[in-house]
C-alpha cells in the first residue's frame, strides 16, 4: 500500500514495486511523491524508479543477511521463494549481482548448495588449483581475454528436471558417486542460460544429455580397432531392424552392467525444443527426432547377443525391445 504523509493513495502499484516482488506485503509512506499519482505520472517520475531500486536493494540485503546468519530458515523458505528470486535475477542485473552467491540449488540428496559449492563438487581434479577464478563474471573475463587466448576449462554442473522420469540416470550417477541438482521449475531453464552467460566457465547439463566419462570404461589401445568394428556392426544392425537409417547409435562400455541401453538428447537440442514449445512453435513441421542418441552397453549380454547373431531369430525383437526400453526411460 502506498501512502503520502499517512494519506492512503493506492495499492498494488506496479511502477513502484518491481514485478518479481509483487508477493511482498507492506506499506510505503513517501512524502516526495506527487499526489496526482496517475499511471502515466508514475511511469515518468524519476523518484518512483529510485523507490523501486531501493526496495529491491532492501529485499536483497534482507535475504543475503538471512542466508549468512540463519541458513536453516533461509533453506526452509527457499523452495517457495526461489522462482521469484530467479525471475528477479533475470530481470534486474543489480539484484542478480547481490543475490548470485546466495542462490541455492537442491541436490538429489536434498542438500542445499550455492553455485560455488556446486562448482567445487563438480570440478575436475586437475582444475582444483584454480578455485576463485571459475566464479568470474563475463565482464571480468573479457578484460582478461587478450592475455589468455586458450578456452577456459569449463565446469559442468549436472541437473535433474524430473526425479521419477530420470531415475535410471540418477541411479547411475549415485553409483559413480556423482552429484546433480534438481531444477524442476519453468523459470530454471532461462535462469541457467543467464548464469552461463554471466559465468563463462560454468555450463549446465541435464543428466540424460550424455554419458559421463565416470560411467564408462576406457577402451584399451590394442582393442580399439576391434571395438570400432563392433560399433559399426551394431549400428548397422540396429538401423536395419528399427527401419531408421538416420538413427544415431553409440556403443560404450558402461560400468553398470545392469543397463543395456539408454537414450540421450543433447543439451542444446533439448533447450531449443523447450524454447520452441514456450513460444508455441512446437508444430512447425521441424523434425527434431534425429537428435536422440541410442547408447548401447557393450558389456550387457543382450547387446553382445545382437553383435554375435546379426541375423539371429531373436535379433529383431531384442533390438526393438532395447530401443523401446531406452525411449520409455527417457520420455514416457
Mean pLDDT per block of 10 residues along the chain (332 residues) reads: 81 78 84 65 69 89 92 92 92 90 91 89 54 49 50 80 84 84 89 88 85 74 82 87 85 81 81 74 51 84 86 86 86 64
Q: Taking Cα atoms as reference points, which of 196, 167, 185, 176 lies closest to residue 108?
A: 167
Cα distance between residue 114 and residue 129, in whole Å: 20
For residue 182, what are the contacts with CB-CB under 8 A and spacing of at least 6? 105, 106, 107, 108, 159, 160, 161, 163
Cell of 51: 523507490
Helix boundaries (H) for 92-182: 93-99, 115-122, 138-144, 167-175
Q: What is the pLDDT of residue 43?
A: 59
Which position has the grid cell 511523491?
33
Q: What is the pLDDT of residue 57?
A: 92
Contact, 304 vs 298, CB < 8 A? Answer: yes
Q: What is the pLDDT of residue 146?
A: 47
Report the run of H or E that residue 251 belongs to, with start and end. strand 248-252
Contact, 63 vs 85, CB < 8 A? Answer: yes
Q: What is the pLDDT of residue 176?
A: 81
At residue 108, the 3 state secondary structure works out as coil
Q: What is the pLDDT of residue 59?
A: 92
For residue 169, what are the contacts with CB-CB under 8 A and spacing of at least 6? 160, 207, 208, 262
- Torsion sign over Cα 60, 66, 72, 77: negative
Amino acid at each position: 500500500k502506498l501512502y503520502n504523509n499517512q494519506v492512503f493513495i493506492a495499492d498494488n502499484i506496479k511502477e513502484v514495486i518491481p514485478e518479481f516482488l509483487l508477493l511482498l506485503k507492506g506499506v510505503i509512506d513517501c512524502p516526495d511523491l506527487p499526489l496526482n499519482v496517475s499511471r502515466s505520472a508514475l511511469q515518468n517520475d524519476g523518484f518512483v524508479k529510485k523507490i523501486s531500486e531501493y526496495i529491491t536493494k532492501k529485499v536483497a540485503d534482507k535475504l543475503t543477511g538471512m542466508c549468512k546468519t540463519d541458513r536453516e530458515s533461509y533453506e526452509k523458505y527457499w523452495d517457495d521463494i526461489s522462482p521469484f528470486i530467479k525471475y528477479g535475477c533475470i530481470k534486474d542485473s543489480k539484484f542478480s549481482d547481490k543475490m548470485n552467491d546466495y542462490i541455492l540449488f537442491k541436490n538429489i540428496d536434498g542438500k542445499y548448495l550455492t553455485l560455488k559449492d556446486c562448482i567445487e563438487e563438480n570440478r575436475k581434479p586437475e582444475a582444483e588449483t584454480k578455485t576463485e577464478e571459475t566464479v568470474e563474471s563475463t565482464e571480468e573475463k573479457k578484460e582478461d581475454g587478450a592475455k589468455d587466448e586458450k578456452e577456459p576449462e569449463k565446469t559442468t554442473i549436472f541437473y535433474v528436471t524430473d526425479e521419477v522420469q530420470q531415475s535410471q540416470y540418477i541411479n547411475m550417477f549415485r553409483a559413480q558417486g556423482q552429484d546433480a541438482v534438481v531444477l524442476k521449475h519453468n523459470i530454471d531453464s532461462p535462469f541457467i542460460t543467464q548464469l552461463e552467460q554471466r559465468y563463462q566457465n560454468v555450463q549446465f547439463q541435464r543428466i540424460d544429455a550424455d554419458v559421463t566419462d565416470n560411467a564408462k570404461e576406457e577402451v584399451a589401445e590394442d582393442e580399439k580397432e576391434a571395438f570400432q568394428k563392433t560399433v559399426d556392426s551394431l549400428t548397422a544392425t540396429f538401423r536395419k531392424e528399427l527401419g531408421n537409417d538416420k538413427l544415431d547409435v553409440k556403443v560404450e562400455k558402461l560400468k553398470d552392467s545392469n543397463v543395456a541401453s539408454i537414450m540421450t538428447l543433447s543439451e542444446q537440442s533439448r533447450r531449443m525444443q523447450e524454447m520452441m514449445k514456450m513460444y508455441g512453435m512446437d508444430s512447425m513441421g521441424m523434425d527434431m527426432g534425429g537428435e536422440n542418441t541410442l547408447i548401447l552397453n557393450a558389456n550387457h549380454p543382450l547387446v553382445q547377443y545382437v553383435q554375435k547373431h546379426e541375423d539371429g531369430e531373436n535379433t529383431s525383437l531384442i533390438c526393438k525391445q532395447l530401443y523401446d526400453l531406452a525411449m520409455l526411460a527417457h520420455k514416457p
